[in-house]
A and B are shown apart, each in its own frame.
Chain A
Amino acid sequence: MTEEVKSDGKRSNAFVVSPQKRKMQKLAKNAGEALLLGIASFVAIIVLFIFYFVAVDAIPYFQLRGFTEFFTSTGWYPAGEPGEFGALAIIYGSAMVTLGSALLAVPMGIAAAVCLSDILPFSVRQYAKPVIEMLAAIPSVAFGFFALVILAPLLQSNGGPLLMWTWWVLAAPFLLLAVIVAADLLSARFAQEENRKKMALLLQSLFGILAVLVLYVVGTKLNAIEIITGTNALNVSIILSFMALPTIVSVAEDALQSVGRELREGSYALGATRAETLLKTVLPAASSGILAAVILGIMRALGETMVVWMASGNSSHIPDPWFNYLEAVRTLTATIAGDMGEADQVTGSARYHVLFAMGLLLLVISFFSNLVSERIVVRQRKILSGQ
């Protein structure tokens, strides 16, 4: 850097260098960039390697046993002689806990994202964000431990009353709201202007009684439920929803933030309330970004290992009835983690390779979900930037 080429002596112009030096500079620059590119491509190479090495160990399984048993049978006896490798119940278990956690986390996550981006004042948001970050940071094994040691016994001993209270706390406000809205809508539809108030009051009390009845009946039903085992699909779904929430909230919030102020102001200017603005204008505009958030959140739940391994009960069967979340289930991730310990010694057997087959299945699902969510985000960015 320091030496200036004065060697040719004919000029004081130091910015023109000899052809050799220029060549060397170019060479060094290209070499440097190639090196950087090499390092940056490292990630792509790793991705290829992951697919390759998981597939290479997964394919022997399908060669040995074909596809039918894996995807259609529920018999999972890998240690048997001969072993059975029906993964249907396990795939079903994965789907079940993933769906369960999504049912809990998606509405809550979107509501929280909306709240963070549009409702809370900045001063409060400052404190809400670290809460979400901390929730995201807690190691999965700590969640698993909580599910196994605290939540499972709680569900097992007090499951019924717990369910009942949850139902009451959650359903009561919504039913109340439904009563008010229904009464309002109906009275507006069927009553004359002067009778409207009276009619609304009448309908409200009528619906109110109905709602209380529903609350009570369902509550007592729930109270009577006995939970056989606390390590079940419900337990895992609850915990997984905690883990998926931060992802959903942060990605959805980004999507909401990228919807411009103009859109919101336009809606307010037409006399919409905040809820109406958000529901009718902002959320639809951000919908694809929110969809991406949901996909990423679901992937987090599907790919989670420790919680399901510790607290799902690891029982390979399809619950009866199929939606019974109070039964133990078994998932793909937990099976890989749990069975490798024994399969490890028998490298080369179907028992070993079937676990890689499961890994491959997870990998493929996560790959496509990622692709889809990425596409969605890119598309939304394009739409919002008006291209």
Chain B
Amino acid sequence: MNLGTRKILDNSFTAVGMGSIVVMALALLAVLTPIVYNGVGAVFFTGTIEHRTILYKEYGRGDAKTIETQTATAERYRGEAYRMLSDFEAEMEGMPFEASSRYRSQYAQVRAAMSSLLGPLPGDPTPMLTRFQYGQTRWEKAEEKLHEILYEKKWDYSDPTVMAKAFYVPRAEAFAGTMLAPLFGYLDRHLADMMQPEFTVYWGFFTDRSLDAHIFGGIWPEIQGTFFLAIGAMLFAFPLGVIAAVYFTEYAKEGFFTSILRSANSTLAGVPSIVFGLFGLAFFINTMKVSESKSVLAGSLTLAIMILPTIIRAAEEAILSVPKTYKEASLGLGSTKWNTIATVILPAALPGIITGGIISLGRAAGETAPIIFTAAVSVGSAIGIADVFSSPTPALSWNIYNLASEHEMACEIRHVQYGMVLSLVSIVLLLNLSAILLRAKISQKLKG
């Protein structure tokens, strides 16, 4: 091969390596950007009067006066629309059966969309579920609903070789000539008047209980549950892990038994997380009966087992990186071995140990599979600290799954899901970031 080609190959090799790293960075960016962007939308958004009403009625927050006046204005504009509906209903009554049946199903769709936009229509009975008691709380959702009212979605099946395509037909055409015809234009013009949009900063998203399975309200129960589980896991795993690391680094004599113990550690690190869940169910709940059924305690224990190997490894590394001379100096001064470990080695290794602990804490907070069978419930309120021994809890990781995959209105509450994902990712990444910074500080200190 001539030298030019070899050089080209060399450079392309470099490019491939760089490319892979760039791809990783892009992957990180691709995952984080939408999560951050949409997640922020759970707190900062354009809220409607419905949002303010809920906050006032259910959480006792907000200024009663302004809400009252805004509601009055909104009601005035809504009244006009309601009037058109009742006019049209009266008109339909008067129509011959065939004529009215032509409108009936479409009109039902319009009514349903209207009540979803504005809340229960006059004359409707008060719905049982909270989710039907209010209209849209977010402006972009209100606009979506408006679109649903204004247009009918139809499917184009004309070309059998490709998938059917959706297209939209204005409903105004279908209702042309009836008393409902002006409604569409009216809604289009006065949506803002009816909804009273306002830029909203909803910090309560993090601290409010949820209403009607997260259709409204905040995610406090999940945040609290995540903290309980993660901290509970640390309470078990951290002391155990550090002590085991002390044993491995300071006491263990190399030999068959020690190598078995070390192997066990790496085996445990490799066990798939769902198997931890199975084990937690079979052992802690069905055999040990630490609780009736799922509980924070059972979940914490399961998570603790999962993060134990990580903590042991990090602590071992930190202890091994403490200069041997410290130990010699301390023993030379007439300190006992245990005293040396407690007063010299562990303090010097502490930042490293804590770094490992923080990373494990993040891991425990983020894991889902081990808590599915042992601790997590989909709906529930925040539990008291005394209940951790007996009650299950909602948790961010589990509820993200649940809201995104199993919730019957999953598509309506994307903002809540994004908000949860952002909260979880922020918790985990902030923990990791602090660990990275701590480590950087340690290495700087070691350099002098």
Contacts and interface: CB of A to CB of B under 8 A. Distances in A.
> Do A and B touch (CB < 8 Å)?
yes
Contact of A139 (B240, B271, B397): B397
Interface string A127-141: 010111111011111
A360 B338 CA distance: 41
Report which residue of A137, A184, A356, A366 has the largest number of chain B beta carbons within 10 angstroms of its beta carbon: A137
Contact of A370 (B270, B401, B414): B270
A155 interface: no
A274 B14 contact: yes
Contact of A305 (B28, B369, B428): B369
A137 B7 CA distance: 38
B401 A310 contact: yes
Interface residues of A, number: 93
A268 to B, nearest CB: 12
B28 A135 contact: yes
Given A36-B251, A140-B367, A363 B305 contact: no
A366 B270 CA distance: 6
Interface string B418-448: 0001001100110110001000000000000
B27 A344 contact: no
B268 A46 contact: yes
B17 interface: yes
A359 B421 contact: no
Interface string B239-252: 01001101110011
Contacts of A1: 336, 339
B397 A141 contact: yes
A116 to B, nearest CB: 7
B114 interface: no
Interface of B is mostly: helix
B8 interface: yes
Contact of B271 (A42, A50, A133, A336): A50
Contact of B405 (A115, A148, A279, A340): A148
Given A53-B279, A340-B373, A138 B31 contact: yes
B18 A119 contact: yes
A142 B7 contact: no
Interface in B247-270: 247-248, 251-252, 260-261, 263-270
Contacts, number: 275
A279 B13 contact: yes
Nearest to B9: A275
A305 B273 contact: yes
Interface in A150-176: 150, 173
B368 A306 contact: yes
Nearest to B425: A142
Contacts of B12: 173, 177, 275
A245 B24 contact: yes
Contacts of B365: 139
Interface size class of B (residues with CB under 8 A): 35 or more
A341 to B, nearest CB: 8
A43 interface: yes
Contacts of A249: 24
Contacts of A54: 275, 278-279, 282
B5 interface: yes
Given A40-B243, A340-B372, A367 B5 contact: no
A223 B163 CA distance: 15
A115 B20 contact: yes
A49 B373 CA distance: 18
- List the 10 closest pairs (A to B, CB-CB), nearest first: A303-B272, A139-B366, A115-B17, A275-B13, A44-B264, A112-B20, A40-B247, A305-B369, A273-B10, A370-B270
Interface of A: 1, 32-33, 36-37, 39-44, 46-47, 49-50, 53-54, 56-57, 107-109, 111-112, 114-116, 119-120, 128, 130-135, 137-146, 148-150, 173, 177, 180-181, 184-185, 188, 226, 228, 242, 245, 249, 273-276, 278-279, 296, 299, 302-306, 309-310, 333, 336-337, 340, 344, 347, 355-356, 359, 362-363, 366-367, 369-371, 374
Given A40-B244, A140-B273, 7 more contacts: A43-B244, A46-B305, A115-B17, A115-B21, A148-B405, A309-B405, A362-B274
Interface of B: 1-2, 5-10, 12-21, 23-25, 27-28, 31-32, 34-35, 162-163, 240, 243-244, 246-248, 251-252, 260-261, 263-279, 281-283, 286-287, 305, 308-309, 312, 336, 338-339, 359, 362-363, 365-369, 372-373, 397-398, 400-401, 404-405, 414, 417, 421, 424-425, 428-429, 431-432, 436
7 contacts: A33-B251, A36-B247, A53-B283, A188-B2, A299-B272, A309-B405, A340-B281
